[in-house]
Amino acid sequence: MATSDSDRIEAVAMSSSARDEEQAHQLAAAIEHHAKDSSSSSSDPYLVAFSADHHDATNPLDWRAGKKWMVTDVLSATGFNRIMVSTIMAPALPTIAREFHMSPTEAAMSMSIYLLATALGPLVIGPLSEVYGRQVVLHGSSVWFLVWNVLCGFARTKETLIAARFLAGFGASAIYALGAGVLGDVWRPEQRGRSLGIYLLIPLLGAAVGPIIGGFIAMRPP
């Protein structure tokens, strides 16, 4: 009886050992296959990649090209508008200074303080976007920018004008802080060159277009 029991135990042990060995071989084969796939697509062996036919509608990188360009165009137009506003009042500065009884320094400040705010704004807006998301911060800053620009138009004192210009510039800085990040979320690294070029070029034209539009507005009779 003891011999029979020991034989059964030995048989069970051998069977378990065989199964463990088979599982080990299967695991090794799977690891080798994954390593080959990883080496063919990336030099990082720990990179988790998906098959080429995998499509995630919620992933901006998988959006269709038309939608990606729509996002790029909106960001470029927004940047154009924000920079245009920084220079649009330049032709009207003498008129503004006369109406608000401003010194030359105060008149220059009413325009340049907007740029100061765009330099300080990203220090706050950048961290906010990491907490609440870029979309929420961009939309909120656009509303903020609009409200304070409207107040500039209804300002009755030079202090109100200067303060409103500063706060408007603070809202305008969101596009400078977050625009490139949004494009990085939408376009793959090998596709970003053209979109980033357009995004950086179009806003620069705003600095030249702003005084032209401002000049036409300033020339109109009251």
pLDDT of 57 > 90? The answer is no
Given this model, what pLDDT does residue 189 score?
87
Per cent of the chain over pLDDT 70 is 73
The dihedrals phi and psi of 118, each to the nearest 5 degrees, come to -65, -25
pLDDT band at 163 (very low <50, low <70, confident <90, very high): very high
Do the beta carbons of residue 169 and residue 86 sit within 8 Å?
A: yes
Per-residue pLDDT tens digits for 8-52: 555 545 555 556 666 666 656 655 555 555 444 455 666 666 655
Do the beta carbons of residue 135 and residue 186 sit within 8 Å?
A: no
Which residues make Cβ contacts (< 8 Å) with residue 136, sequence separation at least 6?
none
Per-residue pLDDT tens digits for 186-211: 988 888 888 889 898 888 898 899 99
Given this model, what pLDDT does residue 180 score?
87
Rg of the chain's alpha carbons, rounded to an integer? 31
Q: Which of 77, 107, 79, 105 is nearest to 92 (CA)?
A: 107
Do the beta carbons of residue 167 and residue 117 sit within 8 Å?
A: yes
pTM above 0.85, yes or no: no
**Cα distance between the two ends of the chain:** 117
| Alpha-helical regions (H) of the chain | 2-41, 65-87, 93-100, 104-120, 122-132, 134-153, 158-186, 192-219
Two tokens at 168?
Answer: 């408007």
pLDDT of 175 > 60? The answer is yes
> What angle do helix axes 192-219 and 158-186 make, rounded to 10 degrees?
160
The dihedrals phi and psi of 52, each to the nearest 5 degrees, come to -65, -25
Per-residue pLDDT tens digits for 62-112: 888 889 999 999 999 999 999 999 999 988 898 889 999 999 899 999 999
Distance between CA atoms of 218 and 201, rounded to whole angstroms? 27
Distance between CA atoms of 68 and 48, rounded to whole angstroms? 24
The dihedrals phi and psi of 48, each to the nearest 5 degrees, come to -90, 115
Distance between CA atoms of 212 and 142, rounded to whole angstroms? 23
Two tokens at 36?
Answer: 């080959």
Query: In this predicted model, which residue has the larger pLDDT, 222 or 113?
Result: 113
How big is the CA angle at 121 (ends 102 and 117), to the nearest 5 degrees?
A: 15
